[in-house]
Amino acid sequence: MVVSATSRPGGGRGSGDPGGPPPPSGAGRGRATARLSVRLRRLGLPYLLILPALLLELLVHLIPMVIGIGMSFIKLTQFFIRNWSAAPFAGWSNYHLAVDFNGPVGRALLHSFFVTVTFTVITVALSWFLGMAGAVLMQGEFRGRGFLRALFLVPYALPVYAGVITWSFLLQRESGLINHVLVDQLHLFSDKPFWLIGQNSFFSIVVVSLWRWWPFAFLVLMAGLQNIPQDLYEASSIDGAGWMRQLRSVTLPMLRPVNQVLVLVLFLWTFNDFNTPYVLFGKTAPQEADLISIHIYQSSFVTWNFGTGSAMSVLLLLFLLLVTAVYLLITSRRRSDA
């Protein structure tokens, strides 16, 4: 690859160097080749310019994905991690195992999938709602606006680990601040509830995740609001539109392209989020909050069964691709209709 990359432009330069003395015979042909090579160069230049980026893209994104898909078709356990080629071909058996919802592995995966979908829908909806509310309320000028804006963005700016580990301290049953307030101060419960195991763990992960993601929605929507021309609000208020009507007829329609991207990105990030549950619960999440990213991690790394884990990852990838495609199809069509 290295040799061919250097020889091609080098050769072109030799035959078409305009600064060099013209060849003794066939000057016209020489000029024609020069012109051709110039045109070729013009055509090829853009491709050549993106070549490094393309190679990087292949290296960073595509190759690991292809390897992951390959892994899902072999029985890759601890016996073979040193020499993958020795791992027996598994065919579809890893996939069968993952989608056999009567078997224990498939059932656990399906459970985890439903937990994750519920978790994602709630988190995205609430994040969007809070972000929207925050952005709209912050739209007008008032004292302390800058401070509040900065404050709202803190969770997003904090390193995940620092933020989430603090939550896990707050949510401790015995010594956590939340139980201290709820039980010792407000006497809302007679017995201290658990927040990190059992039923409540689901609410804990939703709250922590919401805390982490809503500032992003806030940030994006705030930027989107800046782009709505002030005239629209003035014109609508002359027409007698109140605040609510303005929100419905000006703000929301104008934000539609922003929302389209925002909801999709929030959905994908929340669905795939590994850091938040991992820091909050550790390597093994409680069953009620068994999010799919942790579940797959456990199915591959903790139990040393990389083939099954890869098969699950591929299934997850396909699901997210499908959701994304359907979502984009629906939202773009609606936009072109409107």
Partner 1 sequence: MLTRKPYVFAVAGALMFAAAACGGSNDSSSSGSAGGGSGSITYWASNQGTSLESDKQILQPELDRFTKETGIKVNLEVVPWSDLLNRILAAATSGKGPDVVNIGNTWSASLQATGAFVPLDDTQLNALGGKARFLGPSLAATGAPGQPPVGAPLYSTAYALYYNKHMFKDAGIADPPKTWDELVADGKKLTKDGKWGLAVEGASVSENAHMIFTLGQQHGGDLFDSSGKSQFDSPANVAAVKQYLNFIASDKITNPSDAAYSNGTEALQDFIGGKAAMVMWQSASGTLKTGGMTPDDYGVAPIPLPDPSSGGKQVDSMVGGINISVFDSAANKDGALKFVKFMTSKQTQQDLNKAYGSLPTVTDAYDDPAFQTPEIKTYQQILGNTAAPLPQVANESQFETLVGNAMNQLFADAASGKPITDETVKAKLTEANQQMTN
Residues 6+ positions from 244 with CB-CB distance below 8 Å = none
Q: Name which position in 39, 282, 321, 333 contacts partner 1 (CB under 8 A).
A: 282
* Alpha carbon distance 320, 272 (integer Å): 9
38-47: long-range contacts at Cβ-Cβ below 8 A with a sequence spacing of 24 or more? 40/12, 41/12
Compare residues 59 and 188 and give the one whose CB is closer to partner 1.
59
Q: Name which position in 170, 192, 254, 260 contacts partner 1 (CB under 8 A).
A: 192
Coil, helix or strand at residue 305:
strand
* Alpha carbon distance 159, 60 (integer Å): 24
Contact string (CB under 8 A) for partner 1, positions 31-70, x = contact: ----------x---x--xx-xx--xx--x-----------
60-77 in b/e form (b: 16+ CB < 10 A) is eeeeeeeebeebbbbbbe
Q: Which range, of 66-74, 131-139, 245-253, 296-304, touches partner 1 by CB under 8 A?
A: 296-304
Q: Name which position in 15, 227, 284, 324 contacts partner 1 (CB under 8 A).
A: 284
Q: Is 133 in the site for partner 1 (CB under 8 A)?
A: no
Q: Is 180 in the site for partner 1 (CB under 8 A)?
A: no
Compare residues 78 and 332 and give the one whose CB is closer to partner 1.
78
Please answer whether residues 100 and 106 qualify as being in contact, where contact means their C-beta atoms are separated by less than 8 angstroms.
Answer: yes
Q: Name which position in 15, 78, 118, 324 contacts partner 1 (CB under 8 A).
A: 78
- How many of the chain's residues bind partner 1 (CB under 8 A)? 46
Compare residues 289 and 315 and give the one whose CB is closer to partner 1.
289
Question: Which residues contact partner 1 by CB under 8 A?
Answer: 1-2, 5-6, 9, 13, 19, 41, 45, 48-49, 51-52, 55-56, 59, 77-79, 81-82, 103-105, 108, 172-174, 192, 194, 196-199, 282-284, 286-287, 298, 301-305, 308
